[in-house]
Amino acid sequence: MARKKVTVVGAGNVGATTAHWLAAAELADIVLTDIVEGIPQGKSLDLYEATPIIGSNVHVTGTNDYEATANSDLVVITAGLARKPGMSRDDLLKKNYDVIAATVKQVVAHSPNSILILVTNPLDAMAQAAFKLSGFSRNRVIGMAGVLDSARFAAFIAEELKVSVENVQAFVLGGHGDTMVPLPRFTTVAGIPITELLDAAEIERLVQRTRDGGAEIVKYLKTGSAYYAPSAAVVEMAEAILKDKKKILPCAAYLQGEYGIDGLFVGVPCKLGARGIEDVIEVRLSESERAALQKSAAAVRELVAAIGL
C-alpha cells in the first residue's frame, strides 16, 4: 500500500508541531509549506533528520510553492496571523480570511481529492470560508476545535479527581471559544458521569477554565498561543481519517439541519473515517443545553456574516 501524503500549510508553531506528531506516529509522508522562505525547508529537514532516531519511515519536505503538495490525501491548514495588539477581532477575521482564500485556492488546484482540516482562528468561520471557497463536499472540510477543548476539559478533570487522563471522556459541543458548550452529563470517568463525582460548582470551575484554556496559555507565553495540544488534536483527527478508524470525535462540521442548525459550521460529534466526516452524531439535548448551543451558533453566524459568507 502506498504511503499516505499529508500537507501542512503554515510552518509556524502549530504547523511544525503537527508535522512532528505526524512523523512520530509514522502516519504519512509530510510536506510543510509556508510563505516565509527557508522556514518550511529548514524545519522539515531537521525533522526528517530525526526519523532515523525515532525509527519512523516517513519523508518530510518543505516548500514555498504548492507543486510538491500535489495529490495530498489530507491537508491541514494552520496558516494565519496571530492577533496583534491594537488589532480588532474583525481585522483579524478579515486578514485570516484572505490567508484562507489564498491557501485554499492552491490546495484545491493541486490536491482536488484531499480532505481539509482547518485550524486557523477564528476556527468555525475559517472552516466555513474553506468550505465555500473549495467547493468540496461537506464531509471533506473539517474544523479542529472540539478535540482540543475536550482534551483541556479532560486534563482538568483528571487532575481534579486524581485519575488517569485515559479514564476521562469529555463531551463538548458548539463553537470554539467563549461560547463552547461542555456537556457534563455526557462527560464520564471510566463510564461514570462527572455529575456523580463532582458538585455543580466544581464542574462550573473546570468548564470555565476550559473556555479560557487558550487565553490561559497566551497569558504565559505572551508572544504566541498554544500549539502542543492543538497539534496533537489535529493528529488524532488525521489518524482517524488516514486509518479509516470510524472514530467519533468532536469536530466543527457544516450542519444541514442537525441540532436544528442549518448552513453553518458548529462543533458536533462526528464519525471520522477515510471519507472524512462520515456521520454527524445527534444526541437529545435538554432545553438549557439546546439554548447554549443556539447561542454558540449565533456567535459563529455573526462572524460568518462579517466576511459575507
User: Quick check: 11 binds ligand APR (CB under 6 A)?
Assistant: yes
User: Quick check: 18 binds ligand APR (CB under 6 A)?
Assistant: no
202/195 Cα distance (integer angstroms): 10
First to last CA, the chain: 40
Nearest-CB residue for ligand APR:
12
165/157 Cα distance (integer angstroms): 8
User: Quick check: 78 binds ligand APR (CB under 6 A)?
Assistant: yes
139/294 Cα distance (integer angstroms): 22
Name the residue nearer to ligand APR (CB basis): 38 or 224. 224
According to DSSP, the residues that pair with 266 across neighbouring strands are 253
Lookup: cell for 54: 525515532
User: Quick check: 35 binds ligand APR (CB under 6 A)?
Assistant: yes
Q: Give Cβ neighbours of residue 110 (< 8 Å, ≥ 6 apart).
A: 66, 67, 69, 70, 71, 72
User: Quick check: 9 binds ligand APR (CB under 6 A)?
Assistant: yes
Residue 95-124 contact track with ligand APR, rule CB under 6 A, x = bound? ----x--xx---------------xxx---
User: Quick check: 80 binds ligand APR (CB under 6 A)?
Assistant: yes
Closest CA to 213 of 162, 145, 265, 163: 145
Minimum separation from the CB atom of position 12 to ligand APR (A) = 2
Q: How many residues bind ligand APR (CB under 6 A)?
A: 24
63/5 Cα distance (integer angstroms): 15
Q: Which stretch binds ligand APR (CB under 6 A): 72-80, 196-204, 241-249, 277-285?
A: 72-80
Number of C-beta neighbours around residue 220 at 10 A: 8
Minimum separation from the CB atom of position 97 to ligand APR (A) = 11
Q: Which stretch binds ligand APR (CB under 6 A): 34-42, 107-115, 163-171, 238-246?
A: 34-42
Q: Pick from 7, 13, 179, 210: which binds ligand APR (CB under 6 A)?
A: 13
